[in-house]
Amino acid sequence: MQNSDQKLSTQELEHITDVTLDHYNQRAAAFWEGTRSHDVSQNIQSLLKYIEANVPFSILDVGCGPGRDLKTFIELGHQPVGLDGSAEFAQMAREYAKCEVWQQDFLKLDLPADRFDGVFANASLFHVPSQELPRVLKQLHATLKSGGVLLTSNPRGENREGWNGDRYGAYFELPAWRQFMMEAGFIELEHYYRPPGLPREQQPWLASVWRKG
C-alpha cells in the first residue's frame, strides 16, 4: 500500500481498471454465491429514510454487482437502475433483477444530470483511486436531483491505497472521506460502522449518508 498522494498516469489508471474488472469477470459466479446472502438492509434503509421525494424513488446502484440489492429495491416498490464496470456482473444483474443495468467503468462514467432521487454505492467506490475520486463524486452529485441522497459503504483504512491481490482499493478513515465528500458538494446526514453491535476494531466498514448540497 502506498500513500494516497502518489500521482498515477493515464496508463496506470487504465491498468488498475482492467485488472480489477478482470478479477470480477473471472470470478463472477463465485462472487455471487459468496455475497448473495449478505445482509445490507441497514444500508438500504439508511438511504431510503433520507430521500424526500415521492415514492417510487429512482435509485442508481453504483457497483450493483450481480443485482442482489437491485432486486431488493424493486421489491420495496422503487425504480432502480444498476451500474457496474464488469460485463459479467451487468448481464447477471439484468437477468436476476429484471431491470435496466448500465455497464460503465467508474472512471468513465456517463450519467444523466438530475436523474436520481438516490445513489446507492455499497462496497464499490473504494475501487476509485483517490486522485480520481473528486471527479467521480462530482459526477454522482450531478446525477442526483436537487436534495437527492447518496449512501456509500467502504472498507476503511489508514488513508492509503494500492493493490490487494489483483484488486485496487483506496481505504480511508472518516475525516479524510468526509473531506472528499464535502469538497464534492455533499452535506453529511449520518455515518456508522459495520457490522453493527461489535467493537470498533471489528467493524471494517464505514457507511455514510449524504445530501446533495
Work out the number of other CB atoms within 10 angstroms of the CB of residue 1: 13
Spatial separation of the C-alpha atoms in residues 148 and 213, rounded to whole Å: 9
**Is residue 43 within 8 Å of 122, Cβ to Cβ?**
yes
Spatial separation of the C-alpha atoms in residues 23 and 169, rounded to whole Å: 13
- Summary count for the chain: helices (H), strands (E): 7, 10
Phi-psi region of 18 (alpha: psi -120 to 50; beta: other; left: phi over 0): alpha
Output the nine-digit C-alpha cell for 184: 464534492
**Is residue 196 within 8 Å of 40, Cβ to Cβ?**
no
**Is residue 127 within 8 Å of 174, Cβ to Cβ?**
no
Q: State residue 126's pLDDT score.
A: 98
Put simply, whether the predicted model's pTM sits higher than 0.85 gets the answer: yes
pLDDT in tens, the chain (213 residues): 555 456 999 999 999 999 999 999 999 999 999 999 999 999 999 999 999 999 999 999 999 999 999 999 999 999 999 999 999 999 999 999 999 999 999 999 999 999 999 999 999 999 999 999 999 999 999 999 999 999 999 999 999 999 999 999 999 999 999 999 999 999 999 999 999 999 999 999 999 999 999
CATH number at residue 71: 3.40.50.150
Spatial separation of the C-alpha atoms in residues 103 and 82, rounded to whole Å: 8
Specify burial of residue 57 (Cβ count, 10 A radius: 0-12, 13-18, 19+).
Answer: buried
Report angle CA 162, 182, 105 to the nearest 5 degrees: 45
Number of domains in the chain: 1
Q: State residue 5's pLDDT score.
A: 59
Work out the number of other CB atoms within 10 angstroms of the CB of residue 122: 23
Q: State residue 1's pLDDT score.
A: 54
Q: State residue 58's pLDDT score.
A: 98
Three-state DSSP at 113 gives: coil
Residue 76, domain extent: 2-212
Phi-psi region of 104 (alpha: psi -120 to 50; beta: other; left: phi over 0): beta
The pLDDT > 90 percentage for the chain reads 97
**Is residue 66 within 8 Å of 31, Cβ to Cβ?**
yes
